[in-house]
Structures are given as structure tokens and as C-alpha cells.
Structure 1
Amino acid sequence: MIELVITACLLSGSKDCQKIEVPVEEGVSLSACLKTAHDRALDWQADHAEYMVVGWQCTDTDKAAEK
């Protein structure tokens, strides 16, 4: 399963950053996730105005579980 992981920090001036897992539709490839990640991260930030997105990545959770 492919997952979009957004790294976001609170705008309150603290260094409180966290990784947020954003669901990706089943069957989406890693390359398709990467192509839409920027727009999806911006959409997430628009819904969470107290945060600033500082990074994102698409991961294959099935391959990560194999390690």
C-alpha cells in the first residue's frame, strides 16, 4: 500500500513538527503518488492552517514491512 507522509510544523513558533500519514487511494502506484504529492500536501495544509508543510514523501508500506 502506498502512503503519503507529510512533515508539518506548528506555526506558533515552536519547533513542534510531526509526520502525518495521509491516505492514498488503493491501487495508486508510487510514481502516481509522487506526481500528486505536492498538490495533496497543499490541500492538507489549506485544511490545517495552524501548520506549515516542510516536506513530504510517498512510501510503500508493504516494502517497509518486509525489512
Structure 2
Amino acid sequence: MGADGAAVKLGHRGGVIALLQAEIGSFIVPFHCMPHRLEIGMLRVKREVSMIGQVYDLLHLIWKTYHLTPK
């Protein structure tokens, strides 16, 4: 199961994944959604390096174009 990392979804005690694992079984493997992890990493880099802002804006535009188009 992929999720954005919020405690409500990936929490070990009361998150959706914990409830699913308790009901269905431990073969459900939780993982933090890779595009969301990439966005978090880019935001951290953007704070530290001034030129990365342009790269982040370009990647964000590409992501929005993909995300908002019908599949």
C-alpha cells in the first residue's frame, strides 16, 4: 500500500495500514509514496540552494501536467 506518509495512513498504531494489517494480515507492505518523497526532498533542497528553485518549478510544472491530464 502506498501513501503520502501521514500518520492517519501509515501510522503503526491507528493508521489505515495498521487496521488493514490487523484485519487482513501482515502481507500488506506499507511504503511512502515515491513522488511525495521526491517533492519533500526537493523542498528541502530548495530552501538551501537558491538556483534549485528554477529546477523545482520546472519539475512541479511537469508533475502538474501529468497529474491533471486524464489517464
TM-score by length of 2: 0.30
Bigger helix fraction: 2
* Greater Cα radius of gyration, structure 1 or 2: 2
TM-score by length of 1: 0.31
